[in-house]
Chain A
Protein backbone atom coordinates (compact mmCIF):
# COMPACT_ATOMS: atom_id res chain seq x y z
CA UNK A 1 0.00 0.00 0.00
CA UNK A 2 2.88 2.33 0.67
CA UNK A 3 3.79 2.32 -3.02
CA UNK A 4 0.42 3.80 -4.05
CA UNK A 5 0.38 7.54 -4.54
CA UNK A 6 -2.45 9.49 -2.85
CA UNK A 7 -3.78 10.66 -6.22
CA UNK A 8 -4.60 7.09 -7.18
CA UNK A 9 -6.82 6.72 -4.14
CA UNK A 10 -10.11 8.13 -3.05
CA UNK A 11 -11.81 8.04 0.31
CA UNK A 12 -15.56 7.55 0.72
CA UNK A 13 -16.90 10.68 2.42
CA UNK A 14 -19.57 8.77 4.30
CA UNK A 15 -17.75 5.75 5.72
CA UNK A 16 -14.02 6.50 5.38
CA UNK A 17 -13.33 3.44 3.22
CA UNK A 18 -10.31 3.80 0.94
CA UNK A 19 -10.80 2.94 -2.71
CA UNK A 20 -8.41 2.74 -5.60
CA UNK A 21 -9.45 5.07 -8.40
CA UNK A 22 -10.09 3.42 -11.71
CA UNK A 23 -10.86 4.66 -15.18
CA UNK A 24 -14.59 4.96 -15.73
CA UNK A 25 -16.56 4.59 -18.91
CA UNK A 26 -19.48 6.69 -20.08
CA UNK A 27 -22.49 6.76 -17.79
CA UNK A 28 -20.75 4.84 -15.05
CA UNK A 29 -21.23 5.74 -11.40
CA UNK A 30 -18.66 4.73 -8.81
CA UNK A 31 -20.30 3.49 -5.62
CA UNK A 32 -18.64 2.73 -2.31
CA UNK A 33 -18.44 -1.03 -1.78
CA UNK A 34 -18.98 -0.58 1.94
CA UNK A 35 -21.85 1.91 2.36
CA UNK A 36 -23.16 2.41 -1.19
CA UNK A 37 -22.51 6.16 -1.29
CA UNK A 38 -21.68 7.66 -4.67
CA UNK A 39 -17.93 8.13 -5.03
CA UNK A 40 -17.83 9.77 -8.43
CA UNK A 41 -19.77 10.09 -11.65
CA UNK A 42 -18.24 9.70 -15.02
CA UNK A 43 -18.68 12.91 -16.86
CA UNK A 44 -16.78 14.41 -19.69
CA UNK A 45 -16.78 17.77 -17.97
CA UNK A 46 -16.64 19.69 -21.19
CA UNK A 47 -16.15 23.29 -20.06
CA UNK A 48 -17.69 24.75 -23.22
CA UNK A 49 -20.97 22.89 -22.87
CA UNK A 50 -21.07 23.63 -19.18
CA UNK A 51 -20.37 27.31 -19.73
CA UNK A 52 -23.23 27.52 -22.23
CA UNK A 53 -25.53 25.97 -19.63
CA UNK A 54 -24.38 28.39 -16.92
CA UNK A 55 -24.96 31.37 -19.20
CA UNK A 56 -28.46 30.08 -20.01
CA UNK A 57 -29.18 29.61 -16.33
CA UNK A 58 -27.94 33.12 -15.62
CA UNK A 59 -30.21 34.72 -18.25
CA UNK A 60 -33.20 32.71 -17.00
CA UNK A 61 -32.35 33.62 -13.40
CA UNK A 62 -32.45 37.33 -14.21
CA UNK A 63 -35.81 36.92 -15.93
CA UNK A 64 -37.17 34.87 -13.04
CA UNK A 65 -36.23 37.66 -10.66
CA UNK A 66 -37.43 40.62 -12.72
CA UNK A 67 -40.71 39.33 -14.07
CA UNK A 68 -43.75 38.96 -11.82
CA UNK A 69 -44.54 35.41 -10.80
CA UNK A 70 -48.31 35.49 -10.36
CA UNK A 71 -51.11 38.03 -10.52
CA UNK A 72 -54.20 37.88 -8.34
CA UNK A 73 -57.45 39.55 -9.25
CA UNK A 74 -60.28 40.51 -6.90
CA UNK A 75 -63.28 42.59 -7.98
CA UNK A 76 -61.36 44.13 -10.85
CA UNK A 77 -58.31 44.98 -8.77
CA UNK A 78 -55.03 43.29 -9.42
CA UNK A 79 -51.98 42.46 -7.37
CA UNK A 80 -48.78 40.79 -8.52
CA UNK A 81 -45.41 40.03 -7.03
CA UNK A 82 -41.84 39.11 -7.81
CA UNK A 83 -39.39 37.21 -5.62
CA UNK A 84 -38.12 40.48 -4.18
CA UNK A 85 -41.69 41.59 -3.56
CA UNK A 86 -42.12 38.54 -1.34
CA UNK A 87 -38.83 39.17 0.45
CA UNK A 88 -39.67 42.81 1.12
CA UNK A 89 -43.19 41.89 2.28
CA UNK A 90 -41.70 39.53 4.87
CA UNK A 91 -39.29 42.22 6.04
CA UNK A 92 -42.09 44.75 6.51
CA UNK A 93 -44.36 42.29 8.30
CA UNK A 94 -42.05 41.59 11.24
CA UNK A 95 -40.62 38.42 9.72
CA UNK A 96 -37.14 39.73 8.98
CA UNK A 97 -35.57 36.35 9.74
CA UNK A 98 -37.59 34.80 6.94
CA UNK A 99 -36.74 37.70 4.63
CA UNK A 100 -33.03 37.07 5.21
CA UNK A 101 -33.35 33.29 4.72
CA UNK A 102 -35.33 33.78 1.52
CA UNK A 103 -32.97 36.44 0.13
CA UNK A 104 -29.96 34.22 0.83
CA UNK A 105 -31.29 30.87 -0.40
CA UNK A 106 -33.29 32.16 -3.38
CA UNK A 107 -31.21 35.09 -4.59
CA UNK A 108 -27.70 35.61 -3.24
CA UNK A 109 -26.46 32.01 -2.98
CA UNK A 110 -27.79 30.93 -6.39
CA UNK A 111 -26.33 34.11 -7.89
CA UNK A 112 -22.91 33.59 -6.30
CA UNK A 113 -23.00 29.94 -7.35
CA UNK A 114 -23.71 30.73 -11.01
CA UNK A 115 -21.21 33.58 -11.22
CA UNK A 116 -18.41 31.58 -9.65
CA UNK A 117 -19.06 28.45 -11.72
CA UNK A 118 -19.10 30.66 -14.82
CA UNK A 119 -15.84 32.30 -13.78
CA UNK A 120 -14.09 28.98 -13.14
CA UNK A 121 -15.30 27.46 -16.41
CA UNK A 122 -14.34 30.51 -18.44
CA UNK A 123 -10.73 29.86 -17.49
CA UNK A 124 -11.02 26.07 -17.53
CA UNK A 125 -11.94 26.12 -21.22
CA UNK A 126 -8.64 27.85 -21.91
CA UNK A 127 -6.95 25.21 -19.72
CA UNK A 128 -6.06 27.87 -17.23
CA UNK A 129 -6.61 28.12 -13.54
CA UNK A 130 -8.97 30.98 -12.68
CA UNK A 131 -7.68 33.75 -10.38
CA UNK A 132 -9.00 33.04 -6.91
CA UNK A 133 -9.56 29.37 -7.79
CA UNK A 134 -9.07 27.99 -4.28
CA UNK A 135 -11.28 30.43 -2.30
CA UNK A 136 -14.01 30.22 -4.96
CA UNK A 137 -14.03 26.41 -4.90
CA UNK A 138 -14.16 26.42 -1.09
CA UNK A 139 -17.04 28.94 -1.13
CA UNK A 140 -18.92 26.78 -3.65
CA UNK A 141 -18.54 23.82 -1.32
CA UNK A 142 -20.08 25.67 1.61
CA UNK A 143 -23.02 27.34 -0.15
CA UNK A 144 -23.87 24.17 -2.08
CA UNK A 145 -26.69 22.89 0.15
CA UNK A 146 -28.19 26.34 0.72
CA UNK A 147 -29.75 27.09 -2.67
CA UNK A 148 -33.48 26.44 -2.74
CA UNK A 149 -34.90 27.73 -6.03
CA UNK A 150 -36.58 24.40 -6.77
CA UNK A 151 -38.40 24.48 -3.43
CA UNK A 152 -39.60 27.98 -4.25
CA UNK A 153 -41.15 26.74 -7.51
CA UNK A 154 -43.17 24.14 -5.63
CA UNK A 155 -44.05 26.82 -3.07
CA UNK A 156 -45.36 29.09 -5.85
CA UNK A 157 -47.51 26.21 -7.09
CA UNK A 158 -49.00 25.64 -3.65
CA UNK A 159 -49.59 29.39 -3.22
CA UNK A 160 -51.40 29.53 -6.56
CA UNK A 161 -53.67 26.62 -5.66
CA UNK A 162 -54.43 28.15 -2.26
CA UNK A 163 -55.20 31.56 -3.76
CA UNK A 164 -57.38 30.08 -6.51
CA UNK A 165 -60.16 29.42 -4.00
CA UNK A 166 -60.67 33.13 -3.33
CA UNK A 167 -59.14 35.02 -6.25
CA UNK A 168 -58.69 34.99 -10.01
CA UNK A 169 -55.17 33.72 -10.54
CA UNK A 170 -53.04 34.36 -13.60
CA UNK A 171 -49.62 32.83 -14.01
CA UNK A 172 -47.03 35.39 -15.13
CA UNK A 173 -43.81 34.85 -17.15
CA UNK A 174 -41.73 34.69 -13.97
CA UNK A 175 -43.16 31.32 -13.02
CA UNK A 176 -42.16 29.85 -16.42
CA UNK A 177 -38.67 31.26 -16.04
CA UNK A 178 -38.53 29.55 -12.64
CA UNK A 179 -39.73 26.28 -14.16
CA UNK A 180 -36.91 26.40 -16.76
CA UNK A 181 -34.43 27.34 -14.03
CA UNK A 182 -35.47 24.26 -12.05
CA UNK A 183 -34.76 22.02 -15.04
CA UNK A 184 -31.31 23.62 -15.47
CA UNK A 185 -30.56 23.24 -11.75
CA UNK A 186 -31.47 19.55 -11.96
CA UNK A 187 -28.98 19.11 -14.81
CA UNK A 188 -26.34 20.93 -12.78
CA UNK A 189 -26.96 18.84 -9.72
CA UNK A 190 -25.61 15.85 -11.63
CA UNK A 191 -22.29 17.53 -12.31
CA UNK A 192 -19.73 17.41 -9.54
CA UNK A 193 -17.77 20.64 -9.70
CA UNK A 194 -15.07 19.05 -7.57
CA UNK A 195 -13.77 17.46 -10.77
CA UNK A 196 -12.16 20.87 -11.33
CA UNK A 197 -9.80 20.22 -8.42
CA UNK A 198 -8.33 17.32 -10.37
CA UNK A 199 -8.02 19.36 -13.55
CA UNK A 200 -5.99 21.89 -11.63
CA UNK A 201 -3.72 19.18 -10.25
CA UNK A 202 -2.73 18.13 -13.76
CA UNK A 203 -1.76 21.65 -14.75
CA UNK A 204 0.24 22.65 -11.74
CA UNK A 205 2.59 19.63 -11.96
Chain B
Protein backbone atom coordinates (compact mmCIF):
# COMPACT_ATOMS: atom_id res chain seq x y z
CA UNK B 1 0.00 0.00 0.00
CA UNK B 2 1.90 3.01 -1.26
CA UNK B 3 -1.01 5.42 -1.43
CA UNK B 4 -0.05 9.05 -2.10
CA UNK B 5 -0.71 11.40 0.84
CA UNK B 6 -3.14 13.70 -0.92
CA UNK B 7 -5.66 10.97 -1.70
CA UNK B 8 -7.79 10.17 1.32
CA UNK B 9 -7.70 6.49 2.15
CA UNK B 10 -11.15 5.51 1.02
CA UNK B 11 -11.81 1.80 0.72
CA UNK B 12 -12.26 0.46 -2.79
CA UNK B 13 -14.55 -2.42 -3.62
CA UNK B 14 -11.87 -4.45 -5.39
CA UNK B 15 -9.67 -4.32 -2.23
CA UNK B 16 -12.51 -5.44 0.03
CA UNK B 17 -13.49 -8.36 -2.16
CA UNK B 18 -16.72 -6.66 -3.17
CA UNK B 19 -18.19 -6.15 -6.62
CA UNK B 20 -20.85 -3.63 -7.56
CA UNK B 21 -23.26 -4.99 -10.15
CA UNK B 22 -23.03 -2.89 -13.35
CA UNK B 23 -26.73 -3.19 -13.96
CA UNK B 24 -28.56 -3.00 -10.63
CA UNK B 25 -25.74 -1.67 -8.39
CA UNK B 26 -26.17 -4.39 -5.79
CA UNK B 27 -23.07 -4.82 -3.64
CA UNK B 28 -21.97 -8.44 -4.00
CA UNK B 29 -19.23 -10.43 -2.33
CA UNK B 30 -16.68 -11.91 -4.68
CA UNK B 31 -16.95 -15.68 -4.88
CA UNK B 32 -13.50 -16.75 -6.10
CA UNK B 33 -14.24 -20.48 -6.19
CA UNK B 34 -16.34 -20.10 -9.30
CA UNK B 35 -14.32 -20.73 -12.42
CA UNK B 36 -14.50 -17.36 -14.08
CA UNK B 37 -18.21 -16.60 -14.18
CA UNK B 38 -20.05 -14.82 -11.38
CA UNK B 39 -23.67 -13.76 -11.47
CA UNK B 40 -25.49 -11.01 -9.65
CA UNK B 41 -27.96 -12.72 -7.30
CA UNK B 42 -30.52 -9.95 -7.84
CA UNK B 43 -30.61 -9.31 -11.59
CA UNK B 44 -28.67 -12.23 -13.03
CA UNK B 45 -26.16 -10.06 -14.93
CA UNK B 46 -22.55 -11.17 -15.13
CA UNK B 47 -20.39 -9.62 -12.40
CA UNK B 48 -17.00 -8.16 -13.27
CA UNK B 49 -14.55 -6.23 -11.16
CA UNK B 50 -13.89 -4.08 -14.22
CA UNK B 51 -15.67 -4.05 -17.55
CA UNK B 52 -14.18 -6.98 -19.51
CA UNK B 53 -11.42 -6.15 -22.02
CA UNK B 54 -12.17 -2.47 -21.56
CA UNK B 55 -8.97 -1.17 -23.19
CA UNK B 56 -9.15 -3.43 -26.23
CA UNK B 57 -12.82 -2.78 -26.89
CA UNK B 58 -12.60 0.97 -26.37
CA UNK B 59 -9.53 1.27 -28.63
CA UNK B 60 -11.16 -0.84 -31.33
CA UNK B 61 -14.41 1.14 -31.26
CA UNK B 62 -12.59 4.45 -31.11
CA UNK B 63 -10.42 3.58 -34.12
CA UNK B 64 -13.45 2.36 -36.06
CA UNK B 65 -15.25 5.60 -35.20
CA UNK B 66 -12.27 7.62 -36.40
CA UNK B 67 -12.20 5.71 -39.69
CA UNK B 68 -15.85 6.66 -40.20
CA UNK B 69 -15.20 10.22 -39.05
CA UNK B 70 -12.87 11.08 -41.95
CA UNK B 71 -15.39 10.37 -44.77
CA UNK B 72 -18.16 11.83 -42.58
CA UNK B 73 -16.45 15.20 -42.78
CA UNK B 74 -15.01 15.02 -46.29
CA UNK B 75 -18.04 13.62 -48.12
CA UNK B 76 -21.16 15.73 -48.59
CA UNK B 77 -24.04 14.82 -46.25
CA UNK B 78 -26.89 16.41 -48.18
CA UNK B 79 -27.76 17.48 -51.76
CA UNK B 80 -29.96 20.48 -52.39
CA UNK B 81 -31.29 20.45 -55.93
CA UNK B 82 -33.46 23.15 -57.49
CA UNK B 83 -34.34 24.10 -61.06
CA UNK B 84 -31.06 25.65 -61.99
CA UNK B 85 -28.46 24.35 -59.60
CA UNK B 86 -27.32 21.38 -57.55
CA UNK B 87 -25.53 22.03 -54.30
CA UNK B 88 -23.77 19.43 -52.17
CA UNK B 89 -23.33 20.30 -48.49
CA UNK B 90 -20.76 18.97 -46.07
CA UNK B 91 -21.18 19.35 -42.32
CA UNK B 92 -18.90 22.37 -42.30
CA UNK B 93 -20.60 24.09 -45.24
CA UNK B 94 -23.95 23.57 -43.49
CA UNK B 95 -22.61 25.45 -40.47
CA UNK B 96 -21.29 28.20 -42.75
CA UNK B 97 -24.66 28.50 -44.46
CA UNK B 98 -26.45 28.99 -41.14
CA UNK B 99 -23.88 31.61 -40.14
CA UNK B 100 -24.09 33.55 -43.42
CA UNK B 101 -27.90 33.53 -43.34
CA UNK B 102 -27.88 35.29 -40.00
CA UNK B 103 -28.55 32.43 -37.57
CA UNK B 104 -25.27 32.78 -35.72
CA UNK B 105 -26.59 31.17 -32.54
CA UNK B 106 -27.77 28.02 -34.30
CA UNK B 107 -24.56 27.92 -36.33
CA UNK B 108 -22.63 27.80 -33.06
CA UNK B 109 -24.87 25.02 -31.67
CA UNK B 110 -24.48 22.90 -34.81
CA UNK B 111 -20.73 23.56 -34.91
CA UNK B 112 -20.36 22.44 -31.30
CA UNK B 113 -22.60 19.37 -31.69
CA UNK B 114 -21.28 18.15 -35.05
CA UNK B 115 -17.65 19.16 -35.12
CA UNK B 116 -16.38 19.99 -31.63
CA UNK B 117 -18.11 17.20 -29.71
CA UNK B 118 -16.84 14.31 -31.90
CA UNK B 119 -13.29 15.74 -31.92
CA UNK B 120 -13.49 16.25 -28.16
CA UNK B 121 -14.57 12.63 -27.75
CA UNK B 122 -11.61 11.35 -29.75
CA UNK B 123 -9.19 13.52 -27.78
CA UNK B 124 -10.68 12.79 -24.36
CA UNK B 125 -11.13 9.04 -24.81
CA UNK B 126 -7.65 8.77 -26.35
CA UNK B 127 -6.16 10.67 -23.41
CA UNK B 128 -8.08 8.58 -20.89
CA UNK B 129 -7.02 5.32 -22.55
CA UNK B 130 -3.33 6.23 -22.75
CA UNK B 131 -3.10 7.73 -19.26
CA UNK B 132 -5.00 4.84 -17.64
CA UNK B 133 -2.95 2.22 -19.44
CA UNK B 134 0.18 3.89 -18.09
CA UNK B 135 -1.41 3.74 -14.63
CA UNK B 136 -0.52 7.33 -13.89
CA UNK B 137 -2.21 9.14 -11.03
CA UNK B 138 -2.00 12.41 -12.96
CA UNK B 139 -5.10 14.65 -12.70
CA UNK B 140 -7.40 11.80 -11.71
CA UNK B 141 -10.29 14.01 -10.64
CA UNK B 142 -10.12 16.08 -13.83
CA UNK B 143 -9.99 12.94 -15.95
CA UNK B 144 -13.02 11.53 -14.13
CA UNK B 145 -14.86 14.78 -14.87
CA UNK B 146 -13.85 14.67 -18.53
CA UNK B 147 -15.26 11.16 -18.80
CA UNK B 148 -18.55 12.28 -17.28
CA UNK B 149 -18.68 15.19 -19.75
CA UNK B 150 -18.10 12.89 -22.74
CA UNK B 151 -20.83 10.52 -21.56
CA UNK B 152 -23.24 13.40 -21.11
CA UNK B 153 -22.75 15.24 -24.40
CA UNK B 154 -22.08 12.28 -26.68
CA UNK B 155 -25.48 11.72 -28.22
CA UNK B 156 -26.11 15.38 -29.12
CA UNK B 157 -23.91 14.88 -32.18
CA UNK B 158 -26.83 13.07 -33.79
CA UNK B 159 -28.31 16.55 -34.37
CA UNK B 160 -27.12 16.95 -37.97
CA UNK B 161 -28.31 13.47 -38.92
CA UNK B 162 -31.84 14.32 -37.79
CA UNK B 163 -31.70 17.66 -39.63
CA UNK B 164 -30.84 15.87 -42.89
CA UNK B 165 -33.60 13.29 -42.32
CA UNK B 166 -36.23 15.97 -41.71
CA UNK B 167 -35.18 18.14 -44.66
CA UNK B 168 -35.10 15.11 -46.99
CA UNK B 169 -38.66 14.27 -46.00
CA UNK B 170 -39.87 17.87 -46.20
CA UNK B 171 -38.27 19.35 -49.28
CA UNK B 172 -39.96 17.28 -51.97
CA UNK B 173 -41.20 19.65 -54.63
CA UNK B 174 -40.22 17.45 -57.57
CA UNK B 175 -38.12 19.46 -60.04
CA UNK B 176 -38.57 22.77 -58.24
CA UNK B 177 -36.67 21.83 -55.14
CA UNK B 178 -35.40 18.62 -53.56
CA UNK B 179 -33.16 17.59 -50.70
CA UNK B 180 -31.51 14.17 -50.68
CA UNK B 181 -29.21 12.55 -48.14
CA UNK B 182 -25.70 11.70 -49.38
CA UNK B 183 -23.30 9.01 -48.06
CA UNK B 184 -21.54 11.42 -45.66
CA UNK B 185 -24.56 11.36 -43.36
CA UNK B 186 -24.35 7.56 -43.02
CA UNK B 187 -20.69 7.77 -42.03
CA UNK B 188 -21.53 10.54 -39.60
CA UNK B 189 -24.37 8.55 -37.98
CA UNK B 190 -22.05 5.57 -37.61
CA UNK B 191 -19.34 7.80 -36.08
CA UNK B 192 -21.76 8.94 -33.39
CA UNK B 193 -22.98 5.41 -32.60
CA UNK B 194 -19.42 4.05 -32.48
CA UNK B 195 -18.12 6.85 -30.22
CA UNK B 196 -21.07 6.26 -27.90
CA UNK B 197 -20.24 2.56 -27.76
CA UNK B 198 -16.57 3.42 -27.19
CA UNK B 199 -17.29 5.66 -24.21
CA UNK B 200 -19.65 3.04 -22.76
CA UNK B 201 -17.05 0.30 -22.99
CA UNK B 202 -14.42 2.41 -21.23
CA UNK B 203 -14.37 1.67 -17.52
CA UNK B 204 -13.86 4.93 -15.59
CA UNK B 205 -12.64 2.93 -12.58
CA UNK B 206 -9.44 2.30 -14.52
CA UNK B 207 -8.63 6.01 -14.03
CA UNK B 208 -8.27 5.35 -10.30
CA UNK B 209 -6.50 2.02 -10.49
CA UNK B 210 -3.02 3.50 -10.13
CA UNK B 211 -3.62 3.82 -6.40
CA UNK B 212 -3.11 0.10 -5.85
CA UNK B 213 -0.40 -0.48 -8.39
CA UNK B 214 0.48 -3.88 -6.96
CA UNK B 215 -2.01 -6.50 -8.06
Residues of A within 8 A of B (CB): 1, 6-7, 9-18, 33-37, 69-70, 72, 74-75, 77, 79-81, 85-90, 93-95, 97-99, 101-102, 105-106, 134, 137-138, 141, 145-146, 148, 151-152, 154-159, 161-163, 165-167, 194, 197, 201
Contacts and interface: CB of A to CB of B under 8 A. Distances in A.
Contact of B204 (A14, A102, A166, A197): A14
Contacts of A79: 170-173
Interface of B: 7-8, 10-14, 16, 18-20, 22-29, 42-45, 94, 97-98, 101, 103, 106, 109-110, 113, 140-141, 144-145, 147-148, 151, 154-156, 158-173, 176-177, 180-181, 185-186, 189-190, 193, 196, 200, 204-205, 207-208
B139 to A, nearest CB: 12
A17 B177 contact: no
Given A15-B12, A101-B161, 13 more contacts: A6-B29, A15-B207, A18-B10, A35-B144, A89-B165, A98-B165, A134-B42, A134-B43, A157-B106, A158-B110, A159-B162, A162-B97, A194-B25
Given A11-B20, A155-B162, A162-B167, A16 B181 contact: no
Given A137-B43, A148-B158, A95 B106 contact: no
A12 B147 CA distance: 14
Contacts of A9: 18, 27
Nearest to A165: B101
A9 B207 CA distance: 22
Contacts, number: 211
A152 B172 CA distance: 20
Contacts of A15: 12, 144, 204-205, 207-208
B155 A151 contact: yes
Contact of B23 (A74, A87, A138): A138
